Amino acid sequence: MIHLDHVTKKYHDFTAVDDLSFDAARGEIIGIIGHNGAGKSTTLKMIAGLIAPTRGSIYIMERDIQKHSVALKRQIGYLPEESPLYENMSARQYLAFFSELYALPRAAAQSRIESLLTSLHLQDPDQLIGEYSKGMKRKVAIARALLHDPALLILDEPNSGLDPLTSFFIIHYLKSLKREQKTILLSAHNLFHVEYVCDRVAIIKGGKLVVFDTMEAIRAGLGKREFQIVFRADETLEYERRDGNYVYRTHEIDAIAAMLEKISAQQWALIDLSVQESALEEIYVKLMSNPD
């Protein structure tokens, strides 16, 4: 679906994106994270065809975005971090206006608008957008990006400044779009949301791609995993105590297996077995803290 081939973007002497290469498959959700100024927004704008790379190529559906910009933009829905709306229009009027810009047939446009108003829970669609909350305005902007039913959705900080409930609704809604086989690229500062919704995560530092993989692989390579057994025994043992029980911790799965065999052999009571893994936020902070 998407292929970036050694993409670099320079502004005079400043390199915003440095030799970036990665792929995204159809129906995949890719999270792009990094510090402010890392090159996230620049990358998304290049993929959307809004700015040209200094070097390298970007292919969408096996076509170069620079050579087939007009045709490919019909397949792209783009939501910038700051997305002003026409506040003197209602949500329904606003979407109808953009459906005309997209040259959608009127009947199909009306059906699409009503579907988006319902799925995004856009209440009072005939109310002026200027009277909406920030969360409702963001939903209108997302509906606009989806109006022409694009195959690729590019979202720059879709949850910026939203309350937790609206923010989670939008993330959950994006996850539901996988059923429509839409490819989604999103940048976000809320790493919990990225971890929840994304199939793979790209971490960018100083314009360079430092990690690009599934969360499972990222944890395996950069995080840590701790196994914990809570059990009860009548005798006194040299293990950590908590609430009258013993606690055994280890990072080794073989050690856990051996401990479970011992508990069974000694006829101790197994209370709980759990696994704690590094969150994306912990891994990200560790990466950003390390000097280049």
Q: What is the pLDDT of residues 34-75, one digit of tens each?
A: 988 899 999 999 999 999 999 999 999 999 999 998 899 999
What confidence score (pLDDT) does residue 141 get? Answer: 94
Query: 3-state class of 88 per DSSP?
Result: coil
Among 5, 26, 2, which residue's Cα sits nearest to residue 178? 26
CA 97 to chain centre: 29
Q: Give me the residue label for tokens 């159809």.
A: 26
% of the chain with per-residue pLDDT over 90: 68
What confidence score (pLDDT) does residue 210 get? Answer: 92
What confidence score (pLDDT) does residue 46 get? Answer: 96
In the 3-class helix/strand/coil scheme, how is 14-69 assigned residue by residue?
A: EEEEEEEEEEECCCCEEEEEECCCCCHHHHHHHHCCCCCCCEEEEEECCEECCCCH
Query: 3-state class of 78 per DSSP?
Result: strand
| pLDDT classification of 83: cutoffs 50, 70, 90 | confident
What confidence score (pLDDT) does residue 204 get? Answer: 94
CA dihedral 155, 3, 290, 277 (to 10 degrees): 70
> Is pLDDT of 226 > 90?
no
What confidence score (pLDDT) does residue 291 get? Answer: 63
Question: Phi and psi of 22, rounded to 5°?
Answer: -165, 170
Mention every residue, 6+ apart, whose C-beta is less than 8 A from residue 127.
Answer: 90, 91
What confidence score (pLDDT) does residue 155 get? Answer: 95
Q: Are 172 and 183 in contact (CB under 8 A)?
A: no
What confidence score (pLDDT) does residue 260 get? Answer: 93
Helix (H) or strand (E) holding 154: strand 152-156
Cβ-based burial of 147 (10 A; exposed 0-12, middle 13-18, buried ≥19):
buried
Mean pLDDT of 93-111: 94
Domains annotated on the chain, with CATH:
2-214 (3.40.50.300), 221-289 (no CATH)
% of the chain with per-residue pLDDT over 70: 99
Query: 3-state class of 228 per DSSP?
Result: strand
What confidence score (pLDDT) does residue 245 get? Answer: 95
> Is pLDDT of 239 > 90?
yes
In this prediction the pTM is 0.81
What confidence score (pLDDT) does residue 241 get? Answer: 93
What confidence score (pLDDT) does residue 163 get? Answer: 84
What confidence score (pLDDT) does residue 161 get? Answer: 79
User: Which range (64-73, 112-121, 166-175, 278-287) has the least confidence?
Assistant: 278-287
**Alpha helix (H) residue ranges in the chain:** 40-47, 69-73, 91-101, 106-119, 134-146, 164-176, 191-197, 215-222, 253-266, 280-289
Mention every residue, 6+ apart, whose C-beta is less than 8 A from residue 276.
Answer: 225, 226, 228
What confidence score (pLDDT) does residue 198 get? Answer: 93
Q: Are 77 and 148 in contact (CB under 8 A)?
A: yes
> Is pLDDT of 290 > 80?
no
Mean pLDDT of 230-256: 91
What confidence score (pLDDT) does residue 77 get? Answer: 95
Mean pLDDT of 219-224: 81
What confidence score (pLDDT) does residue 27 get? Answer: 93
What confidence score (pLDDT) does residue 292 get? Answer: 58
What confidence score (pLDDT) does residue 259 get? Answer: 93
Mean pLDDT of 122-150: 93
Burial 279-291, CB ≥16 within 10 A → b, else e: ebeebbeebeeee
Average confidence score pLDDT of the chain: 91
Mean pLDDT of 152-181: 88
